[in-house]
C-alpha cells in the first residue's frame, strides 16, 4: 500500500505489475493531504469523543454491575446483546431522528450511533476487570478512611488501568473504522475518512495512488496508539486470565 502510494499514475495499472518504482513521487500524498485532511480530522474528533464517552460510561456501569449485581446477569447480557444488533436496522431511524433535530452532517450525528458500538463492549469488558479486583482491597481502603468514590479513584481504577486502556483502544478502532452510519448521516462537513476514501473515484475507477496514500494515513493513528500503549496492551489483555 505504501509502495503504491509512491508510484506514478502511469505505472499503477501496468501488466505485469511493478511493485517498486524507479521514479517515486509524492503527488498522491500531496493530493490526499490537500483534499482529505478535513475527513481525517473529523474521524479523530468522532472516534476520540465516542471512545471517551464509552470508557466513562463503561467504567461507571461496569463497576455497578460487578460490585452491586445491578440487574443480575440479565441486564449486563442485554447490554452486550446490543453488539449483535445489525447497524443497518438503526440507520434509517437515526437518519430520521437526526434530520428532525437538524443534526445531519454534524459530529454529534455520527458520535451518538457510534456509542451503540462502543458502550456495550466497554461495559462488558470493564465489568469483567472490576470483578477480578479483590473486594478486600477496597474494604481495607475504606477502613483507613477512604470514601467510596475515593476507593474507586485511588484503588480500583489504577488496578484495572491496563484493561481500560485496551478497552479504549478497541473502542477507538471500531469507531475509526465504522462506515455505515458515517455514510448515511454525513454529507461533506462531518464526513469521516472511511467514507472519503470510498468516494475517491475518477472516470476510469478508483484513484489507486490517492486511495493508497489515504489508507496509509488512516492506519497511522491506530498504529501510533498501539505503539505508545504497547506496555499496557499485554497486561490489559492478560488481566484476569491467570487465577
The CA angle 109-111-114, to the nearest 5 degrees, is 115
Model confidence pLDDT, tens digit, residues 19-30: 888 889 999 999
pLDDT of residue 239: 62
Average pLDDT over residues 21-40: 93
Nine-digit cell string for 136? 478486600
Across 94-117, b (16+ Cβ under 10 Å) vs e yields bbebbeeeebbeebebbbbbbbbb
Query: Is residue 72 classed as helix, strand or coil in its secondary structure?
Result: coil
pLDDT of 132 strictly over 90 = no
User: What residue has cell string 469488558?
Assistant: 125
Taken in order of first residue, the domains within the chain and their CATH numbers are 36-238 (1.10.3720.10)
pLDDT of residue 74: 84
Mean confidence (pLDDT) of the chain: 89
pLDDT of 243 strictly over 60 = no
Model confidence pLDDT, tens digit, residues 83-106: 788 888 899 999 999 999 999 999
Q: Which residues pair with 7 in a beta bridge?
A: none
Task: State how far the Cα of 98 lies from the Cα of 110, in Å rounded to an integer.
Answer: 10
pLDDT of 212 strictly over 90 = yes
pLDDT of residue 51: 97
Q: By percentage, how much of the chain surpasses pLDDT 90?
A: 58
Cα dihedral across residues 214, 94, 122, 150: positive or negative: positive
pLDDT of residue 242: 45
pLDDT of residue 236: 63
Q: Phi/psi at 202 (nearest 5 deg)?
A: -135, -175
Q: pTM for the complete prediction?
A: 0.89
Contact by Cβ (8 Å): 153, 108: no
DSSP classification of residue 125: H
pLDDT of residue 173: 94
Amino acid at each position: 500500500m505504501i509502495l503504491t502510494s509512491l508510484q506514478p499514475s502511469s505505472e499503477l495499472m501496468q501488466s505485469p505489475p511493478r511493485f517498486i518504482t524507479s521514479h517515486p513521487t509524492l503527488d498522491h500524498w500531496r493530493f490526499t493531504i490537500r483534499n482529505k485532511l478535513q475527513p481525517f480530522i473529523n474521524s479523530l474528533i468522532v472516534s476520540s469523543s465516542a471512545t471517551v464517552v464509552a470508557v466513562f460510561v463503561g467504567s461507571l456501569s461496569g463497576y455497578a454491575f460487578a460490585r452491586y449485581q445491578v440487574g443480575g446477569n440479565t441486564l449486563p447480557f442485554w447490554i452486550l446483546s446490543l453488539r449483535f444488533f445489525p447497524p443497518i436496522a438503526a440507520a434509517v431511524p437515526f437518519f430520521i431522528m437526526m434530520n428532525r433535530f437538524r443534526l445531519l452532517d454534524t459530529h454529534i450525528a455520527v458520535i451518538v450511533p457510534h456509542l451503540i458500538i462502543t458502550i456495550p463492549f466497554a461495559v462488558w469488558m470493564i465489568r469483567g476487570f472490576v470483578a477480578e479486583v479483590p473486594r478486600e482491597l477496597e474494604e481495607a481502603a475504606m477502613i483507613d478512611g477512604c470514601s467510596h468514590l475515593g476507593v474507586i479513584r485511588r484503588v480500583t481504577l489504577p488496578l484495572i488501568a491496563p484493561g481500560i486502556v485496551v478497552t479504549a483502544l478497541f473502542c477507538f478502532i471500531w469507531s475509526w473504522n465504522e462506515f455505515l452510519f458515517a455514510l448515511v448521516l454525513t454529507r461533506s462537513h462531518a464526513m469521516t475518512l472511511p467514507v472519503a476514501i470510498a468516494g475517491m473515484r475518477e472516470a476510469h475507477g478508483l484513484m489507486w495512488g490517492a486511495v493508497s496514500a489515504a489508507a496509509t494515513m488512516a492506519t497511522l493513528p491506530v498504529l501510533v496508539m498501539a505503539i505508545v500503549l504497547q506496555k499496557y496492551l499485554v497486561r490489559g489483555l492478560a488481566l484476569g486470565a491467570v487465577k
